[in-house]
Amino acid sequence: MKCVVNKIRAWKRLERHCKKMKKIEMRKLFDDDNERAKKFSLQLDNMLFDYSKNRITEKTMKYLLELAKVRGLEEKIKEMFRGDKINFTEHRAVLHTALRNCSNTPVYVDGENVMIKINEVLAKMRKFSEAVRFGEFKGYTGKKLTNIVNIGIGGSDLGPVMAVEALKKYRAKDINNYFISNIDGTACAEVLNKIDPETTLFIVASKTFTTIETLTNAKTCRKWLIDALGEHAVAKHFVALSTNTEKVKEFGINPENMFEFWDFVGGRYSMWSAIGLSIAIAIGMDNFEKMLEGAHAMDLHFLNTDFAHNIPVILGLIGIWNNNFFGLRSNAVVPYDQYLRYLPAYLQQLEMESNGKFVSKENEFVKYNTGTVVFGGPGTDVQHSFFQMLHQGTTPIPVDFIIPAISHNEVGSHHQILVANVLAQGEALMRGKTVKEAASELAKAGKSKEEVNFLKKYKSFPGNNPSNTFVVKKIDPYTFGMLVAMYEHKVFVQGVIWDINSFDQFGVELGKEMATAILPELQGDAFGITHDSSTASLIRYIKRLRK
């Protein structure tokens, strides 16, 4: 008999419980229990996870943990870590955890211990990254390579972009990092206008070495280099992160400078692999390995900790509670650290590409919501953009707040003001301000009775907006690794609960396939396929404008 997730007893019990919880005000939960924050907080190393500002009780958590148990989450976690082929639509193992397996515990796929090859690639990354950083691997004209350009898309871009920016304080002072992903020619042109061909190393990240966006950009950069230095320079200025040796050789890259990764590594989970070469060159392999160690610490916590004290499990279940039972289908991620400004974009792909699915493991269309719309940006900037909607919009939007206790740049009172803001936002979203409270404040401010009556609703806030707060000591490589791994495992937890495959991405393909068919039509006169009237007329109009 097939399992329909939203029909099982544990799910139905949560639905009944939610009807009661919708009448509950969070501020009352806090007023009634001085120990609430302690009850609903968890800690790992120097990371504190406070989830008390959600509309939950101990009974809520009991029911959510029961749902995780019924859905077989414990066994699913073990299956992932031991290398079972849990990516069931592509018949692949899912082993980003093996990439940062600092314990070096053997992990087998089809009878082969994958740790042997993983360690070989890590050693090769160390040797090459240090050769570039110390000027031993030079460009064609003998100059040190100080401009590192990563050419990729999706996870081959977002992970390195985020990590290099997040760990900016650990970067070599003479290394400049650039990233090209968008097929828009502007992305290529803007980078090429800033760099010197004699001092530039291009890293082409494409597993198959056929990804149209990446290869188009790589060929443009190759031509730019050849025009400046000649064809023989390609081997000294390009390296590949790929598995396709023949295509890499055709491009002119020395196969010795090809770094392998494997089909058990999805793109959005790949920055821990050779895809992280640009990170290793930027921050040094020692710091790259500290990042792996932080992620590994979170992996062991996820694998070995009982669910009631397991940070990714609780984070994932809270997301299920808000999404599927309260109907809150978006989530804002707001890091109060400028260096983490690309984290929300990274998590957009991680969560929305992983869990934006509508077919279950049982090969049935699901009848419940899956996936979450993720958006965000750095605080305090976004307090002056979308926070208006958070505070007074008609639908609550859950928020993840992230704050380091210590800044890398302790300038005057800046960081204290920043911390004050993040703590105030969480409290304000939870408590809100009643119309009566707003009226009292206006009266105390000397407003007339007429002004008070007119403004009191405008000045009120509904509150009851859920949020999680993560406090760390400082954003260093270890802590950063922990943080990213935590979100990876959160996504996995939710995929298991929803009974979907979090590790394929067929939704990326349809638009690309249709673009391939439309391209010849834009370049020529013939129409190769039948389009709807809108698309056909748009093609004709764009061609007229380009003429």
- Note the pTM of the prediction, 2 decimals: 0.96
What's the CA gap between 397 and 442, in Å, rounded? 27
Q: What is the DSSP string of 418-454?
A: HHHHHHHHHHHHHH-B-HHHHHHHHHHTT--HHHHHH
| Residue type for position 237 | H
Each residue's pLDDT, cut to its tens digit, for the chain (547 residues) gives 577 999 999 999 999 999 999 999 999 999 999 999 999 999 999 999 999 999 999 999 999 999 999 999 999 999 999 999 999 999 999 999 999 999 999 999 999 999 999 999 999 999 999 999 999 999 999 999 999 999 999 999 999 999 999 999 999 999 999 999 999 999 999 999 999 999 999 999 998 898 899 999 999 999 999 999 999 999 999 999 998 999 999 999 999 999 999 999 999 999 999 999 999 999 999 999 999 999 999 999 999 999 999 999 999 999 999 999 999 999 999 999 999 999 999 999 999 999 999 999 999 999 999 999 999 999 999 999 999 999 999 999 999 999 999 999 999 999 999 999 999 999 999 999 999 999 999 999 999 999 999 999 999 999 999 999 999 999 999 999 999 999 999 999 999 999 999 999 999 888 888 888 898 889 887 665 688 999 999 999 999 999 8
Query: 99-289 has which fold?
Result: Rossmann fold (3.40.50)
* 238-241 β-sheet, strand order: 176-180, 147-151, 200-205, 238-241, 258-259
What's the CA gap between 442 and 445, in Å, rounded? 5
275 contacts 241 by C-beta, under 8 angstroms? yes
Interior angle at CA 482, CA 477 and CA 488, nearest 5: 125
Query: Residue 487: CA atoms inside 13 Å, Cβ hemisphere, count?
Result: 27
Look up residue 54 and give its DSSP letter: S
Domain chopping of the chain, boundaries: 10-70+305-431+465-504, 99-289, 507-546
DSSP H/E element including 335: strand 330-335
Residues 6+ apart with CB under 8 A from 205: 150, 151, 152, 156, 157, 160, 214, 240, 241, 242, 275
E strand residue ranges, 181-227: 200-205
Domain 10-70+305-431+465-504 and domain 507-546, same fold? Reply is no
Where in the sequence numbering do the catalytic residues fall? 353, 384, 512
Q: Beta-carbon neighbour count of residue 150 at 10 Å?
A: 28
| The CATH homologous superfamily of the domain defined by 10-70+305-431+465-504 | Glucose-6-phosphate isomerase like protein; domain 1 (3.40.50.10490)
What's the CA gap between 322 and 55, in Å, rounded? 9
What's the CA gap between 454 and 204, in Å, rounded? 61
Q: What is the DSSP string of 273-297?
A: TGGGHHHHHHH-HHHHHHHHHHHHH
Q: Does domain 507-546 have CATH number 1.10.1390?
A: yes
